[in-house]
Amino acid sequence: MGERGSSSGGNIFTPQSVSRVWNKRGVKMHPFDIKSALLAKHAQHVVLIHFPIALLIIGVLFDLISRWMNRRALEVAAYYNLLAAAISTLPALLTGVLAWQWALDGHKLKGVLLLHVVFASVSAVLIWMVAWLHVRARRDPEAPAPAYRLCIELVAVAVVALTGHLGGFLSGVNIPS
């Protein structure tokens, strides 16, 4: 097959292919080119978005386990994870807007892109709401956590998962090959 393919039965990791990476336009890129990695039009969002997602999920998991096992240390871990998740939404949202402007040339929001932006905004609000509920709960540690907090946390995880799924379509990850 040509330079982009492999004739080794579908194995794309041949000695020849490992030394080259091709972008969608067929331009040769080096996998360790720092300039390309840092200045790519959407690379920062793709990297940074995983922080609020992971911190939210693990924070909610810690909160669930802390309630189930009545462990104060896990409640504290949940608090710090959820606070970090909320703070990390700021660079994730900023780089998302920059990716839309640079990589997509600021095209009109429609279709999957519009859904992704709407759900990303709702996700950020929910993450900040969850963090605020935990900050408020730490002010009075003896008071029981409100019953609705767990519902909001689970809704936040679901909305974040849907947002990530839509983002996968935008990045090309969820498109069948």
Token pair belonging to 120: 């990303």
Dist CA 45 CA 59 (whole Å): 21
Q: Classify residue 176: in a domain, yes or no.
A: no
Token pair belonging to 65: 């386990």
Q: Classify residue 177: in a domain, yes or no.
A: no
Check whether residue 59 and residue 35 sit in a common domain: no
Dist CA 44 CA 92 (whole Å): 8
Query: What sign has the CA pseudo-torsion 88, 174, 114, 25?
Result: positive
Check whether residue 127 and residue 61 sit in a common domain: yes
Q: Classify residue 109: in a domain, yes or no.
A: yes
Token pair belonging to 174: 């969820």
CB 103 within 8 A of CB 167: no
The helix-helix angle for 147-171 and 111-139 (nearest 10°) equals: 150
Check whether residue 58 and residue 122 sit in a common domain: yes
Check whether residue 8 and residue 93 sit in a common domain: no
Count of beta carbons in the 10 Å neighbourhood of residue 22: 12
Check whether residue 49 and residue 65 sit in a common domain: yes
Sequential pLDDT tens for the chain (177 residues): 444 444 444 444 444 444 444 455 555 556 666 666 555 655 788 888 999 999 999 999 999 999 899 898 999 999 999 999 999 999 999 988 888 887 777 778 888 889 999 999 999 999 999 999 999 998 887 888 888 999 999 999 999 999 999 988 887 776 776
Domain containing 142 equals: 43-171
CB 62 within 8 A of CB 55: no
Query: What sign has the CA pseudo-torsion 11, 26, 19, 33?
Result: negative
* Count of domains for the chain: 2
